[in-house]
């Protein structure tokens, strides 16, 4: 898979996780990876590792987002927008292999594909404040 495809799969897994309690995550992870069963093991391993690392940092990520999102809190944000922001903030703050500009650009592109008409500009605005 390309980096973009990997990021998209991480986004999908992270999005899915937002709808379940922590105790249900292992089952949801298993179901998700069953859908990816035809993909290379190294890709699945990369997705799993990044997902678990993002979940581990969610408290810090959400606190950072809440600190810059004027008039918006993570609890009010649309799930797609919030998931993309979380993914990008993780990449900016915790993944040294991904340049900040790439993380923001990829989040905006995914927002155009999965979000509303306003998602791309909203995601870009929040991430610009955090960069």
Place of tokens 């797609």: 80
The stretch 112-123 carries a mean pLDDT of 97
Q: What digits encode the pLDDT tens for the residues 20-53? A: 887 888 888 888 988 888 888 999 999 999 999 9
Let me know: does 54 contact 90? Beta carbons within 8 Å.
Answer: yes
Supply 10's token pair: 């991480």
Burial class (CB in 10 A: 0-12, 13-18, 19+), 78: middle
Instruction: State yes or no: pLDDT of 18 exceeds 90.
Output: no
Each residue of 70-103: pLDDT tens digit? Answer: 888 999 999 999 999 999 999 999 999 999 999 9
Look at domain 3-130 and name its CATH class.
Answer: mainly alpha
Residue 119 pLDDT greater than 90, yes or no: yes
Q: How far is C-alpha 131 from the geometric centre of its chain's CA atoms?
A: 16
Token pair in block for residue 17 = 């996780």
Asked if residues 108 and 123 have their Cβ atoms less than 8 Å apart, the reply is yes
Global pTM value: 0.92
Taking phi over 0 as left and psi of -120 to 50 as alpha, with beta for the rest, 130 belongs to: alpha
Looking at residue 64, what is its pLDDT?
A: 96
Give the per-residue pLDDT at 110: 98
Do you know the residue count of the chain? 131
Taking residues 66-70, what's their average pLDDT? 91
């Amino acid at each position: 898979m390309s980096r973009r495809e990997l990021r998209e799969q991480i986004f999908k897994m992270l999005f899915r996780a937002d709808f379940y309690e922590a105790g249900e995550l292992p089952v949801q992870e298993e179901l998700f990876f069953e859908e990816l069963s035809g993909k290379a093991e190294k890709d699945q391993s990369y997705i799993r590792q990044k997902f678990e690392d993002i979940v581990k940092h969610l408290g810090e990520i959400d606190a950072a987002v809440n600190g810059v999102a004027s008039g918006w809190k993570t609890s009010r944000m649309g799930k797609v927008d919030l998931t993309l922001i979380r993914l990008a903030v993780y990449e900016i703050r915790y993944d040294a292999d991904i340049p900040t500009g790439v993380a923001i650009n990829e989040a905006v592109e995914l927002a155009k594909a999965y979000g509303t008409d306003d998602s791309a500009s909203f995601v870009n605005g929040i991430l610009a404040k955090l960069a």
